[in-house]
Amino acid sequence: MSTTVPHTRSPAHAPEPTAADACGPDVLADLQRQIGRQWLVWYGHHTRHWWAMPRPPYPWFGLVEGRTPADLPARVREVQAYYGPSRGMR
């Protein structure tokens, strides 16, 4: 297995988060549904970014960062495209 990791950070030209990007239970629940339960999703109040990490036994271990709620699933899809779909979760 390669140790090369796909680029998972947001581009520098991405817009700054706005009040519409604020964390809330509905936003988190929607992100979790979009990404799937193979990934753990949260909002970093200090960083003001959205985060996800795959649960074992996913073949990659790391953090994925998104500047907005819409950005996070795109970053997760990049990892999934590189490592393949999640396995082991029903």
pLDDT tens, 32-46?
Answer: 999 999 999 999 999
Containing 78, the helix (H) or strand (E) segment is helix 71-83
Q: How many alpha carbons fall within 13 Å on the CB side of residue 57?
A: 4
Q: Please tell me the pTM assigned to this model.
A: 0.69
* Residue 2 maps to a domain: no
* Structural domains of the chain, count: 1
- Residues 34, 11: Cα–Cα separation, whole Å: 21
Is residue 32 domain-resident?
yes
Structural domain harbouring 73: 21-83
- With respect to residue 3, please indicate whether it lies within any of the assigned structural domains: no
70: left (phi over 0), alpha (psi -120 to 50) or beta: alpha
Residue 76 lies in a domain: yes
78 inside domain: yes
The pLDDT tens digits of the residues spanning 45-66 come to 999 999 999 999 999 999 999 9
C-alpha to C-alpha distances, 39 to 16, 23, 60, nearest whole angstrom: 24, 18, 11
Q: Is the pLDDT of residue 75 over 90?
A: yes
Please name which of 37, 45, 40 lies closest in space to residue 64, comparing C-alpha atoms. 40
Residue 14 domain-assigned (yes or no): no
Q: For 14-23, how does the pLDDT look when each residue is reduced to its tens digit (9 = 90+)?
A: 555 454 456 7
The answer to whether position 9 is within a domain reads no
